Structure formats: structure tokens, C-alpha cells
Chains A and B, each alone.
Chain A
């Protein structure tokens, strides 16, 4: 798959992670916003997960359910299609972003409407649905507060749960005052930057859009194969508005969101809110099956989206990334994300999960720096409610990046040569010993008082911020040989 197929899995023109991170690292306001927000949510998550003494068992159950479902994904999707159809819904299949956008556009056109209201959804972000609708003359209104902030600010999302996490209250107030008028009801006079006032402004701005909308587009947190029940987990009530008031509901869902049984919800309704917003339960969860006469939309379409998921499924190590329930816990605990924010990842899927999902959805060669955007510290794996071993997949994808580069170039790059040379030295104790003597000598040459300061050339990345001790004149192995001349191992 090519990243220029109109999707947002990777944003066109984004530089590699290290360069993109530089912008964020140099923005003290952004650093403060991120530090405050991630610290807040980390504490909340720890408090509510700590309340459950069987949290590990719940994680096990969630992980096992997801892994099992993926191993039989075709069966469960067919079962879901059958259940939804029997309940009066229409199921559509989309192999890629363009296909999904075409399906949704045609469905909206068939209603004769020129606008839709949207519930926050990663899948529709991923396929660039708003842009596709725009080209068809259909206006899509984001109704989640953070998505609204991003849409009004002509910005990009930087977090899975809170796409505007990079904005603080003062910036949000400014965006509302400047942009709301162009999209509908302007911001109230004298709007302050109190979160309560900002939420009120969003309520007023979106109210008549909810009341007049005939078509809504949503994502789904899960769909139950055996019953055909689809669910959306949310906080503000914008989801309920979109799922209840319009005549037509179009839900776009990644194929990996299917769950086998209704009972599985007893696990995920405990794992998701506590991992995500750090609450015992999120304010609103809505579930529905097909259409209900006299209640809610009377036309329901479910679009099942592949868009690179089957390629991910084919990788037996990388497959586990599809277990993701989009809670964002890994972002919130990630020391790299906390410093760089989400835009540096160049994708709608930022953070640790993005670093393993994005390269798999688009192919490692189109996101080659992402698997390296981690210290492998493992905080993400510990936090993940479905136990995705993110470090394991990161190193797996790093090997794929290296192999892809190897396959592409006839002459090895500098790093490949260095690694090869390192192996040659390290595979032999004798050569290692020689190299140690050379390093000690070299270290002496560039050091002052046994400390190596800033160096020019490729080593500056290390020495710019750190002193390095000069290697000692005698290695351990040399000391051992000197002091244990007749030992069994000498």
C-alpha cells in the first residue's frame, strides 16, 4: 500500500520522527501542556486500576479474547454481518480508505443531505473521511470537544483519546473566539478560558447542528458477533446525540473491533474506561443493534474497514497490535510521547501503539523511523489493558526496517557497516582485547582529566550533552589475566 492513497495513517510530507520531535522539544508551552496533561491522567489511571485487585486477571482475559478473535477473524466477521443484517442493518466491506470513503459518500448522497455530524472516531480520521466528504460537497461537523478544537483550529490530532491535548485552555479560548463564527454559532461574548465556560461554548455551538442533522457518522469501540450489537464509549453526550437523533447512522469500524460474545463486554467495560480516562466508568456508553422501530435512526449502515489491517494480521509477531482498544494508556505513560507530543509521529496513531501500528498499516518503508522512536523502557507494555508487548513488536519492526534497507541498497549504509564491524570484533575475544587497548589509547588522546567532552563528527549527538569517562587503561579481561595467571579459565 502506498501512503499517498489519501489516508491519514501517515501524513504526507511529515519528516522522520527525530526531526519532527525537534519542533515539539523546542516549544516550552507544548512541553508544559503535555507534562501537565499526561501527569494528571497517569495518576487517575493508577488510582482506579489499583482499586481492582484482579486487574491482572482482567488484562489476561482481555488479551486472550482479542488474540483468539484475531485468529478466527473471518468467522467472527461473517457472524457479525449476519447478526447485523438480521436486525435491519446494512453491512458494507471496504478493502482500503478510498473504498470506505466512497461507500460513506454514496450513502450520504443517497439521503440528499449536504452535512453530517460526527462522533469522534479513529477509523474515520485514519481514512481521511472529512476531506473525502468535503470534496463531494458534504460538510462534516466534528462534535467531540477535542475534535472540534482540532477542526476549528485547522490542526492535526496529537492524541488518540484527547486529540487536542497539545492545546491549553488559553489557546482553546482563542481558537473558539476566532473560528466558531465561520462554522456556525459564534463563541459567546466575554468567553473566559475556564474549562466549564469552554465546554458551554461548545454545547451552544453544536446544539442546533445536533437538532437538524439527518445523518451521523460514527466509529465503534466494539461490535458483538453473536448478537450484532455495536457500541460507542464516550463522555460528553455528543455520541448519544449522533447515535440517537439523526435518521441515518453510518458506522465505520476497523475489522479488528469485533468481539465474539456479549459476555466479553464484562471485561472490556472494566478495562477500557479505567485505562483510558482513568474513571471507574465513562459517563456514557451506548449500544444498539440494527434499527429499533420508534427509537433512533431508522437506517443503519456498518462499514467494515481493512485498510492495512489484514497485512498486519499476516505478521504473527506484529498481529498483536490489532488487539488495541484505543485507550491511550500507552501514550500517557510513554516518556518519549510526554516530551515530543503526538504530531512528531506523523500519523493519526501516535505514541507507542502508533509506533507499531502505523508502520504495519502502511509498510515499514513508509514509517521507518517510528519503530526507533522508543527507548524500549516497557512502560507501555505494563500499562496496556490487553497486554500488547509493544517493545517486542518494536524490535521486530526494527529488524524489518533494517532488512528492507538491506534489500533496497547494493552498498551497505554506514550503520550497517558499523554493526558488521562490531560483530567482527565482538565475535572474537582476541579482537575485542585489541580493540579495548585501542579504545583506551584513543580515549586518552581526546580526554582531559579522564573525561571526554564535546566531540565533532557523528559522536556529537552523544557528547553535546554528556561527558564520557575515558576508557580505563586496563580492561577487566586484562586485569583478570594479570591477577589470575594460572586459573582454570585463564
Chain B
């Protein structure tokens, strides 16, 4: 299977280790990962902030960059949701027939990382080792957008050495919401405060999720408060093995 990695512009710039982890896990499972260099951004920020015409060139760029792959994997639930749900909508609203066809054909081939592992590749044990206390925050796009359900937890439970602890009120939003965190900073911070209280209450060393954007928000708060709790994309946990010095 030709698997292309859609790293997302945010991970590309801020969290390259997450992309490397995806490559590591998939190669360990015997797959070849390709990285189309023409890729950039899915346009989620533009779309969610109301700048739809500005998102259209990015929709087109995505369709062109990923035209030739059987499966497209991305370590971001919100970007996967953007491509699958909203690219067709934008193509319908602003695009030509050609773009509409390309998007309709391409969007369903996009899989969030845990979806690809569990649903497409049928794997829950990826041979990882991570001897730490971990709690999992289901981001809104994982939980209610893509409905990943138990998939991330099934993968985490199979990790050797892990002490997986449940996060209280896990399903409530962390308060990030993209530009919401800037436009409604005080409300965002109030929501963050409650999320951090719940994270701290678990006694975890690490909080993980399927979206680095939410994790940067949660981790930024935890760091400011000097809690000593780290954040990690769950791909990086799944990539860890006995040999790692983590």
C-alpha cells in the first residue's frame, strides 16, 4: 500500500518529532511511507475563522499533492476532519467541477493516524514500550468529529510498561479552539484551567492526544505552572521502544 504522510503545516513547523514517529511506527510495521513535498496546509484555520475563499487554494493544493496515493495518514484529528468534511464543502461552494471530483475522490482516503492503524491496517499492538504514567485527552475532533472512540486507547493499552490512567472529565474541551484561544482568551484560559486541574489530579507524567494543537495549549499551561507534566503526541509514545532512552 502506498501510504503518504500528510504532516500538517503546524506539525511540520512546530512538532517534526511527531511526523518522525509516524514514519517510525509505520516502517516498523513493514510499510513504506512517502512524503509528497508539494503538501502544505489543509486550510483549517482559514475555514474555521471564516476566510473561506482564502482556503480554496489550499484545498486545491492538497488535492494535487495527494492525488496518487492509496492512503493518506495524518497525525492530526482536526486536520483529517477538515479534509474529509470541509474540503468537499469548499469545493462545492467555490470550486470547479474538476476540483469537486478530485476532492470527492481524495477526501475519503485521508485517515487520522490511529484510524489507519486500527481500521485500515488492523493493528493495535505496534510493539511499543513506554514505562511512564500516561493519561489520554480525547480532543474534540477525535471524540466528536472523527469519532475515534476507543481506538487511541486500544493502541495505548497495548504499549508495554505503560501505566495508563483515566483523565477525569476527559470529554470536555480543553479550550483551544484555534483562533478561539486568541479571540476569547479569557474563556479559553478558564477552560484550560479546569483541564489542567484534571490532568494534575491523575498524577500522570505525560498527557497525550491525537492533536498537537490542543497539546501545545495544554502543555503551555502546564509548563507555565511548572507542573513538570509533559505533553506528547500519542504517535511518539507508539514509536518508543525498549531501546529508547526516554
**A and B touch in their complex, CB below 8 angstroms:** yes
Q: Footprint of B on A, CB under 8 Å?
A: 17-18, 21-22, 25, 31, 335-336, 339-340, 369, 371-379, 381-382, 395, 398-403, 415-416, 419-420, 422-423, 426-429, 432, 435-436, 439, 451, 453, 461-462, 464-469, 471-472, 474-477, 479-481, 484, 487-490
Q: Mark B14-50, 1 if CB is under 8 A from A, else 0.
A: 1011011000000000000011111111010111111
- The answer to whether B102 has its CB under 8 Å from any CB of chain A is no
Q: List 23 A-B contacts (CB under 8 A).
A: A18-B185, A22-B186, A335-B175, A336-B184, A339-B191, A372-B184, A375-B176, A375-B191, A376-B48, A377-B173, A378-B140, A378-B143, A379-B140, A398-B50, A423-B54, A426-B40, A427-B61, A435-B13, A467-B220, A472-B16, A476-B12, A476-B19, A477-B7
Interface residues of chain A: helix, strand, loop or mixed (majority) = helix
Given contacts A375-B180, A399-B50, A462-B185, contact A471 B14 (CB under 8 A): yes
Instruction: List residues of chain A with CB within 8 A of the CB of B186.
Output: 18, 21-22, 25
Cα-based distance from A336 to B171 in the complex (angstroms): 14
Beta-carbon contact of A398 and B46 below 8 Å: no
- The answer to whether B221 has its CB under 8 Å from any CB of chain A is yes
**CB < 8 Å: which of B37, B178, B223 contacts A489?**
B37
- The answer to whether B192 has its CB under 8 Å from any CB of chain A is yes
Beta-carbon contact of A423 and B57 below 8 Å: yes
**CB < 8 Å: which of A21, A377, A403 contacts B184?**
A21
Summed over the interface, the residue pairs from A and B with CB atoms below 8 Å come to a total of 189
Q: Given A372-B184, A379-B172, A401-B50, 15 other A-B contacts at CB below 8 A?
A: A335-B191, A336-B191, A371-B50, A378-B144, A398-B48, A402-B51, A422-B45, A426-B58, A427-B57, A436-B13, A439-B13, A465-B192, A465-B220, A466-B220, A477-B37
Beta-carbon contact of B40 and A428 below 8 Å: yes
Tell me the smallest distance from the CB of A335 to a CB of chain B, in Å. Answer: 5
Beta-carbon contact of A372 and B180 below 8 Å: yes
Tally of chain B residues near chain A (CB < 8 A): 65
Beta-carbon contact of A429 and B38 below 8 Å: yes
- The answer to whether B145 has its CB under 8 Å from any CB of chain A is yes
Q: Among residues 197 to 213 in chain B, which have CB atoms less than 8 Å away from a CB atom of chain A? A: none
Cα-based distance from A487 to B35 in the complex (angstroms): 9
Beta-carbon contact of A429 and B40 below 8 Å: yes
Instruction: List residues of chain B with CB within 8 A of the CB of A395.
Output: 47-48, 50, 86
- The answer to whether B216 has its CB under 8 Å from any CB of chain A is yes
Which chain B residue has the least Cβ–Cβ distance from A416?
B51
Which chain A residue has the least Cβ–Cβ distance from B193?
A465
Best-buried of B13, B37, B145, B223 by chain A (most CB within 10 Å): B13
- The answer to whether B67 has its CB under 8 Å from any CB of chain A is no
Cα-based distance from A339 to B194 in the complex (angstroms): 10
Interface residues of chain B: helix, strand, loop or mixed (majority) = helix
Q: Footprint of A on B, CB under 8 Å?
A: 7, 9, 11-14, 16-17, 19-20, 34-41, 43, 45-52, 54-55, 57-58, 61, 86, 140, 143-145, 171-173, 175-192, 216-217, 219-221, 223-224
Which chain B residue has the least Cβ–Cβ distance from A484?
B35
Beta-carbon contact of A377 and B177 below 8 Å: yes
Which chain B residue has the least Cβ–Cβ distance from A443?
B14
Beta-carbon contact of A476 and B11 below 8 Å: yes
Which chain A residue has the least Cβ–Cβ distance from B144?
A378
Beta-carbon contact of A375 and B20 below 8 Å: no
Cα-based distance from A336 to B140 in the complex (angstroms): 14
Instruction: List residues of chain B with CB within 8 A of the CB of A471.
Output: 13-14
Cα-based distance from A468 to B117 in the complex (angstroms): 30
Cα-based distance from A375 to B43 in the complex (angstroms): 17
Instruction: List residues of chain B with CB within 8 A of the CB of A31.
Output: 190
Which chain A residue has the least Cβ–Cβ distance from B8?
A476
Cα-based distance from A31 to B190 in the complex (angstroms): 10
**CB < 8 Å: which of B12, B54, B144 contacts A377?**
B144
Which chain B residue has the least Cβ–Cβ distance from A31?
B190
Given contacts A467-B224, A476-B11, contact A18 B181 (CB under 8 A): no
Given contacts A469-B216, A476-B20, contact A481 B37 (CB under 8 A): yes
Instruction: List residues of chain B with CB within 8 A of the CB of A466.
Output: 192, 216-217, 220-221, 223-224
Cα-based distance from A470 to B228 in the complex (angstroms): 18
Cα-based distance from A484 to B37 in the complex (angstroms): 11
**CB < 8 Å: which of A419, A461, A479 contacts B16?**
A479
Tell me the smallest distance from the CB of B246 to a CB of chain A, in Å. Answer: 17
Beta-carbon contact of B185 and A335 below 8 Å: no
Given contacts A375-B176, A399-B52, contact A462 B12 (CB under 8 A): no
Beta-carbon contact of B61 and A475 below 8 Å: no
**CB < 8 Å: which of B12, B173, B178, B220 contacts A475?**
B12
Instruction: List residues of chain B with CB within 8 A of the CB of A339.
Output: 187, 190-191
Beta-carbon contact of A419 and B49 below 8 Å: yes
Beta-carbon contact of B13 and A475 below 8 Å: yes
Which chain B residue has the least Cβ–Cβ distance from A382?
B144
Instruction: List residues of chain A with CB within 8 A of the CB of B17.
Output: 472
Given contacts A374-B180, A464-B185, A468-B220, contact A429 B50 (CB under 8 A): no
Tell me the smallest distance from the CB of B224 to a CB of chain A, in Å. Answer: 5
Which chain B residue has the least Cβ–Cβ distance from A397?
B50
Cα-based distance from A416 to B57 in the complex (angstroms): 16
Best-buried of A395, A423, A461, A479 by chain B (most CB within 10 Å): A423
Instruction: List residues of chain A with CB within 8 A of the CB of B175.
Output: 335, 375
Instruction: List residues of chain B with CB within 8 A of the CB of A462.
Output: 181-182, 185, 220
Instruction: List residues of chain A with CB within 8 A of the CB of B191.
Output: 335-336, 339, 375
Beta-carbon contact of B9 and A432 below 8 Å: yes
Beta-carbon contact of A25 and B190 below 8 Å: yes
Beta-carbon contact of A465 and B224 below 8 Å: yes
Given contacts A419-B51, A423-B58, contact A335 B172 (CB under 8 A): yes
Instruction: List residues of chain B with CB within 8 A of the CB of A451.
Output: 223
Given contacts A25-B186, A376-B48, contact A469 B14 (CB under 8 A): yes
